[in-house]
Amino acid sequence: SRNYRVRINLKTGNFKCTCPCEFNCKHVVAVLLALKEKKPSMRKDEIDTILKRKSREELIDILKKMLISEPRLKKIINSTVQDINERIENLELSDEEDIDSLVDEIDGLYEECIKSDKQIANLLSLFKKCFLFYSEYGDVEPLEESMFIILERISKEAKKLSKDKRKALLQELVDLTREYDFFWDSIDDAGLRLKYVRTAR
């Protein structure tokens, strides 16, 4: 079985799933049910209180057990040491079977990028790396949804820049994606008069 990516906007009621089903799919329903039944997460102060009661050895033991039961946590531990840009640069796609874990890693990096103080620069680096995989491996579909999300966020954050800087940034993205012009739908260019030149196919 393969993983599909679900995107739901609770305000508008719009949803999208990367599975082949063209109407209300089971993946969207599953996500909505999971959201409905989700228990509230612990507050930071509650977590701090619990952790302070443990000795260093106990914390290390707990961490080891968590890493054995959930190997993906290893990436989180490694990520605290490496810079975001370094991790973006080190992203690799060895074969198409590895695409789901790559997309998970990209989504995790996206979350870190939007919390960083160099949000636009980091998001731009992440999009360029995704685009490199996308163009090199030929329309990697599971990657598309993440790329649309990154582009939309860059467009949103670019509104905080001066008009000239915003125009230069978005024009760079338009030029980069010329061969795959359907990405242009995610670029909010209101009032900028960007140059859209499609690549002849």
Between helix 119-137 and helix 99-115 the angle, nearest 10°, is 160
Nearest to 128 by CA among 111, 47, 18, 136: 136
Place of tokens 């939007």: 114
pLDDT value of residue 27: 85
Q: Are 165 and 135 in contact (CB under 8 A)?
A: no
| 93 CB neighbour count, 10 Å cutoff | 20
pLDDT tens-digit series, residues 129-176: 999 999 888 767 788 889 999 999 999 999 999 999 999 999 999 999
Q: Are 7 and 144 in contact (CB under 8 A)?
A: no
HSE value, Cβ hemisphere, 13 Å, CA-based, for 138: 2
**Any bridge partners for residue 16, and if so which?**
7
pLDDT, tens digit (0-9, with 9 covering 90-100), for 15-66: 888 788 877 688 888 888 888 777 666 777 888 888 889 898 988 888 888 8
State pLDDT tens for residues 87-127.
899 888 876 557 888 888 899 999 999 988 889 999 999 99
The residue among 22 and 180 whose pLDDT is bigger is 180
Per the structure block, which two tokens stand in for 171? 């024009």
Cα distances from 185 to residues 112, 157, 177, in angstroms, run 24, 16, 11
